[in-house]
Structure 1
Amino acid sequence: MSLQAKNIAVFGASSAVAQAMINQLTERFPKATVHAFSRQGDNPIDYLDESALAAAAERVTQTEPLDFILIANGILHDDQVAPEKALGQLSAANFEHVFEINTIIPALIAKHFLPKLNRQSPAYFVALSARVGSISDNRLGGWYAYRASKAALNMLIRTAAIEVARRNKQAVVVALEPGTVDTALSKPFQNNVPAHKLFTPDQSAEHLLSVLDQLTPEQSGRFFGWDGHEIQP
């Protein structure tokens, strides 16, 4: 099933990967309408205000349903939190902050926007996750809140896919791992990343779109890496 889209919604649109995806989607589908949401910018939204999410979902689907939804919201570190190296560094406040952005906000977006997916032709709901959210792949430890929040996001995607499939047989609901992208998010953690595995935002977006082009509804609910290989929970 090859990705096609006329009506697109992107959340976390201010991130470098989201911007690259928007650029490539606009290039690929020049007649498509792209609704780019972020906390600031031209189309600001309060992700925790469900009335704002509900209104936005209604507004962008007034004339046609959504064919493609991308959630690029995410946090690894900011001026409030950093990845924990040991249990002694855990705090409730940091867990709440990370889970709010990485898990709760995607869940609320799914609540209001997944029902707006096209049911007459193939449609995609994509959340950007992280390989470190794989429980079976965790061999280094650490990064407690980030790992847990991404593992929870992957479960959210799996559970939502099961529900959506009951009424929308053509929907593809997946989590994708963009790889290590040369952005502010990964900058402090790039030392051990081989040069050929450190991607520009444009390279990452190309990889993600190539993966999506190959996915079918039978693969909905799963978690795939930038190279198209499935990542186990």
Structure 2
Amino acid sequence: MSFINEINHANALIVGASQGIGLGFVKKLLQDNRISKVYATYRQLESASELITLASEYPERLICLSMDITDELQISECVQQIRSQINKLHLVINCVGILHDETLQPEKSLRQINSENLLRYFQINSIGAVLLAKHLLPLFRHQERSVFATISAKLGSIGDNQLGGWYGYRASKAALNMLMRTAAIEYSRSCPKTLVITLHPGTTDTRLSRPFQANVPAEKLFSVERTVTQLITVIEQLQEGDSGHFFSWDGSRLPW
């Protein structure tokens, strides 16, 4: 990574690393000798077996931490654990997000909306990210160039919304974009070397997108490895004025 070239021993944190894009980032960073430490969080141990196996292969470089992004106390405790070992981070990528699960499905119309599901979308997709920004700030308060990226979605673009539907997911990602844009302004004052951005990864072949892949052209359905490589390239090419912006997987800026 270009900004890591300036640093001898860079420290990274991947939030939501048990599977999918998060796990892909961990694998990619472990291949980069410029990265000294990779911290990786997971919510449920039973779904993090591949991550835990990786930690046993890289005991000096990969540190796995249990954290639920919807619990601020767990975020605080996790960050304290990291701060007990290092005093600065250079790359944080928040990969936590929800689109559907056993009880949650994207709404196709207003009649499917209920407040409980909306709150869940916002808690996981929006609020968790800004709580991370709150607690991680001390680890970015240094003089080395750093990036704090959060995985968003093009569906969170208000300007791009032509189809409607998916109320909770769209709105929670739009809220995420606003929260991180606002955090970027505060970070520019308190830790001006840190760029805060949101990223649209494209449609990636993960558990999150699997039920909705039928209408996706084959060339627009990315493997996890391809998505990670593309997003790392976007991060590598960031310039000083890019903090607070929303980027697609190809490096283009997306409308709010």
Q: Tell me the TM-score normalized by structure 2.
A: 0.87
1:134 and 2:138 equivalent? Answer: no
1:154 and 2:158 equivalent? Answer: no
Kindly tell me: are residues 31 and 135 of structure 1, through their superposed partners in 2, closer, same or farther at Cα, counting changes over 3 Å? closer
1:191 and 2:195 equivalent? Answer: no
Gaps of 5+ in 2: 46-63
Asked whether the 8 Å contact 2:141–2:190 carries over to 1, the reply is no
Aligned-partner SS, 1:32: strand
Runs of 4+ in 1 over 3 A off after TM superposition: none
Mean CA deviation greater in 58-67 or 143-152? 58-67
Asked whether the 8 Å contact 2:92–2:148 carries over to 1, the reply is yes
Q: Which residue of 1 aligns with 2:117?
A: 94
Q: Which amino acid is 1:86 matched to?
A: S
Q: Distance in 2 between matches of 1:126 and 1:31?
A: 17
Work out which structure has the larger RCO, using CA pairs closer than 8 Å and 6 or more positions apart in sequence: 1
> Pick from 64, 70, 76: which aligns with 1:48?
70
Post-superposition Cα deviations, 1:72-102, rounded to whole Å, max 9, x if no partner, equal 0000110111111110110001101111110
Q: Distance in 1 between matches of 2:255 and 2:160?
A: 8
Q: Which residue of 2 aligns with 1:163?
A: 186
Q: Distance in 1 between matches of 2:115 and 2:33?
A: 44
1:32 and 2:36 equivalent? Answer: yes
Q: Distance in 1 between matches of 2:152 and 2:199?
A: 6
Aligned-partner SS, 1:155: helix
Asked whether the 8 Å contact 1:16–1:183 carries over to 2, the reply is yes
Q: Distance in 1 between matches of 2:137 and 2:217?
A: 37
Q: Which amino acid is 1:195 matched to?
A: A
Asked whether the 8 Å contact 1:182–1:199 carries over to 2, the reply is yes
Asked whether the 8 Å contact 1:224–1:230 carries over to 2, the reply is yes
Aligned-partner SS, 1:79: coil
Q: Which residue of 1 aligns with 2:2?
A: 2
Q: Which residue of 1 aligns with 2:147?
A: 124
Asked whether the 8 Å contact 2:75–2:132 carries over to 1, the reply is yes
Q: Distance in 2 between matches of 1:29 and 1:213?
A: 16
Q: Which amino acid is 1:221 matched to?
A: G
Q: Distance in 2 between matches of 1:223 and 1:108?
A: 19
The share of aligned pairs that are identical, in percent, is 42
Q: Distance in 1 between matches of 2:35 and 2:2?
A: 17
Q: Distance in 2 between matches of 1:223 and 1:115?
A: 24
Q: Which residue of 2 aligns with 1:76?
A: 99
Asked whether the 8 Å contact 1:174–1:220 carries over to 2, the reply is yes
Kindly tell me: are residues 214 and 9 of structure 1, through their superposed partners in 2, closer, same or farther at Cα, counting changes over 3 Å? same
Q: Which residue of 2 aligns with 1:113?
A: 136
Q: Distance in 2 between matches of 1:68 and 1:29?
A: 14
Gaps of 5+ in 1: none
Asked whether the 8 Å contact 1:129–1:176 carries over to 2, the reply is yes
Asked whether the 8 Å contact 1:103–1:149 carries over to 2, the reply is yes
Q: Distance in 1 between matches of 2:134 and 2:229?
A: 28
Asked whether the 8 Å contact 2:29–2:35 carries over to 1, the reply is no
How many residues are paired up? Answer: 233
Q: Tell me the TM-score normalized by structure 1.
A: 0.95
Instruction: Give the root-mean-square deviation of aligned CA atoms.
Output: 1.5
Q: Which amino acid is 2:134 matched to?
A: K
Q: Distance in 2 between matches of 1:3 and 1:25?
A: 14
Q: Which amino acid is 1:2 matched to?
A: S
1:21 and 2:25 equivalent? Answer: yes
Q: Which amino acid is 1:166 matched to?
A: R
Q: Distance in 2 between matches of 1:172 and 1:105?
A: 19
Q: Which residue of 2 aligns with 1:12?
A: 16
Kindly tell me: are residues 35 and 74 of structure 1, through their superposed partners in 2, closer, same or farther at Cα, counting changes over 3 Å? same
Question: Displacement of 1:18 after TM fit?
Answer: 0.7
Question: Displacement of 1:50 after TM fit?
Answer: 2.5
Question: Displacement of 1:209 after TM fit?
Answer: 0.2
Aligned-partner SS, 2:92: strand
